Amino acid sequence: MMSAAVSALILVTTRLGAQAPVPEPPAVGQRVIANGASDHTIEAAETSDSDSSSHATRNRYLLMAAGAVTAATFNQATAMPVQWKRTWYGYGARLADQAGFGVAEESLRLGLLAAMPWKGVAMECPSARRASGHGFLRRVGAAGTCGVVNTLVVRNAEGARRPNLPLIGAITGASALSLTWRPERVDAGKGQMFVLTRIGFVSGSTALKSAYTEFTAR
């Protein structure tokens, strides 16, 4: 169980940045003139936003690939799961497992995101701002709470709170889907424990990344 936990932690910590939302490029033909900015200036800003989105997407998938390779290598070294031997075939199975989880999670996330009638954005954390001038433990606690909130809840353009279904649904679905090829599927108890462990560590590390971002920004 400890090896499973460490493996999950390696997977998610090497792709913490992959959970950050990719900025949406402006709509084609959109023109907004504000503060005396010329139409030419807006065009340049739109091009910059598009380049930034492409760069963020590329970094996201590079981090996911690095996480899969690192976790598979750790699992090979610790012979986890034991049913997959420490051979090149076993390493291939472990790498395919990690890659399959990543592809399933990202596909589910994008599918759920496209199906949602609104686009979620991270929520502000007034408690973290108020704690910025206080002691270390209070700042850590406020940032940690912010991380959990921003993992489970987002807000739409109007400011209304919504559950972060694309992220949580993708993590849960991909974790359950992993059992279709992993040896834990033959044991109901081990299968349930595997799914819960992976959901917990992926969600927890996502919250940790959000908390770290909030803490260092204060």
Predicted pLDDT at 128: 65
pLDDT exceeds cutoff 80 at 31:
no
Q: Is the pLDDT of residue 61 over 70?
A: yes
What's residue 10's pLDDT? Answer: 52
CA dihedral 197, 140, 57, 8 (to 10 degrees): -20
Does the pTM surpass 0.95? The reply is: no
Helix (H) or strand (E) holding 35: none
User: What mean pLDDT comes out for the span 155-168?
Assistant: 84
Residue type, 115: A
Which residues lie below 8 Å from residue 100, measured CB to CB, with a gap of 6+?
177, 178, 181
Tokens 């849960």 sit on residue: 172
Out of 37-46, 106-115, 175-184, 200-209, least confident range:
37-46
pLDDT tens for 92-121 read 999 999 999 999 999 999 999 888 887 777
d(CA 94, CA 99): 9
Residue 26 has pLDDT above 60, yes or no: no
**How confident is the model over 206-216, as a mean pLDDT?**
78
The SS3 of residue 76 is helix
